[in-house]
Amino acid sequence: VQSRELNQNDRLVLTALGRAERPLSAYDILDQTRSGSIKAPTQVYRSLQKLEGQGLVHRIEALSAFVACSDQHDHEHRPGFVICRGCNSVREFEAPKLLGLAQEVAGEEFSLESVSLEIFGRCGACKDSRPETRG
């Protein structure tokens, strides 16, 4: 079911994201898929849009990056993300009440389009290590 209507590019993008343990930007994906049939950023964006629409990939708004859905399912779901500032690891969690809460906060009049919950901090491993002085 998950690969229905996916073309070769879509599969390349999905595989790159599935292999990655960190969120990837469109350009990271392009770097990893360039040897195949993908030549331009627009092809990556097109595939990402399709995969996102099918719920196979999620966008992390704050990072402008993408992750493969950790839980393959057909229905649309409302994931939230716990993101470590230290190692950039992302953990997806199910937030079924998010939409209701968002609508409540925004008010009945407000036509809700999307909701995202992105929680930033440091994971157990990074919390105990000294902050890196990279860059």
CB of 88: closest distance to Zn ion in angstroms?
7
Cα–Cα distance, 122 to 65 (Å, whole number)? 18
Q: Lay out the site mask for Zn ion across 101-130 (x = CB under 5 A, - = otherwise).
A: ----------------------x--x----
CB of 109: closest distance to Zn ion in angstroms?
29
Kindly tell me which residue out of 25, 45, 86, 98 binds Zn ion, with binding defined by CB under 5 A.
86
State which residue, 28 or 92, has the beta carbon closest to Zn ion: 92
Cα–Cα distance, 3 to 51 (Å, whole number)? 10
Binding to Zn ion by residue 98, rule CB under 5 A? no
What residues pair up with 57 in beta bridges, in sequence order?
68
Q: Lay out the site mask for Zn ion across 53-82 (x = CB under 5 A, - = otherwise).
A: ----------------x---------x---
| b/e code 97-127 from CB counts within 10 Å (16+ = b) | eeeeebeeeeeeeeeeeebbeeeeeebeebe
